[in-house]
Amino acid sequence: MKRIKSNLPNILTLINLSLGVLAILFAVSNNSSQSLLINACFLVMVAALTDRFDGKVARMLDATSDFGKELDSLSDLVSFGIAPIVIAWKVTLFDMQILGYIIAIIFPLAGAFRLARYNITSFNNVFSGVPITVAGAFLSIISLYNCFAKIDNKYTNFHSYITAGVIILLSFLMVSKIKIKKR
């Protein structure tokens, strides 16, 4: 029982990672219809919920560890750095050609930088920069909106440029030194 208790936070983290991988697979599927892209967006949002609770459970069970912290960061990079940008690229950025590729690279790079900085610094109850979980979940919400705009035939090139601008802004906010209180 003690072994299960100490590994429960890591199990939640691996669920987060699994949901992120599934979101990527849904997005890159050969027949990635709007419904698969919508499901991919929801998977990222559910991953955000599991990410919200893995640390809380670890502290509650007194099961925090350096291993858990590193596993969490690697999972977060996949679920909130790579999965949301792959979805956004498929929904929105693909039509922007080389600019879409460049923007698609910036987001996970900023997320990786933010996670690495977080892992080596110690702030008391304060995040430095917007957490990748928040940025990735927000980008998934935007992609979800864009999917529905396409279904309703209301999607325009303007959506692409707004989404690109939001991605650049989120990337900047992740690497910024803006202080955000932890909850």
Determine the Cα–Cα distance for residues 3 and 145; give it in Å rounded to an integer. 42
DSSP class per residue in 8-22: HHHHHHHHHHHHHHH
Determine the Cα–Cα distance for residues 138 and 129; give it in Å rounded to an integer. 15
Give the confidence band of 31 by pLDDT, cuts at 50, 70, 90: confident
User: Which amino acid is located at 75 in the chain?
Assistant: S
Mean pLDDT across 138-147: 98
Angle at 110 between CA 104 and CA 112, to 5 degrees: 105
Give the confidence band of 71 by pLDDT, cuts at 50, 70, 90: very high
Summarize pLDDT for 165-174 with one digit per residue, the tens.
999 999 999 9
> Phi-psi bin for 73: left (phi > 0), alpha (psi -120 to 50), beta?
alpha
Give the domains, in start order, of the chain with CATH numbers: 2-181 (1.20.120.1760)
Residue 35, pLDDT above cutoff 80:
yes
User: Which amino acid is located at 7 in the chain?
Assistant: N
Residue 93, pLDDT above cutoff 70:
yes
C-alpha 4: how far from its chain's center?
27
pTM to 2 decimal places: 0.93
Query: How many CB atoms are located within 10 Å of the residue 55 CB?
Result: 17
First-to-final CA distance of the chain? 29
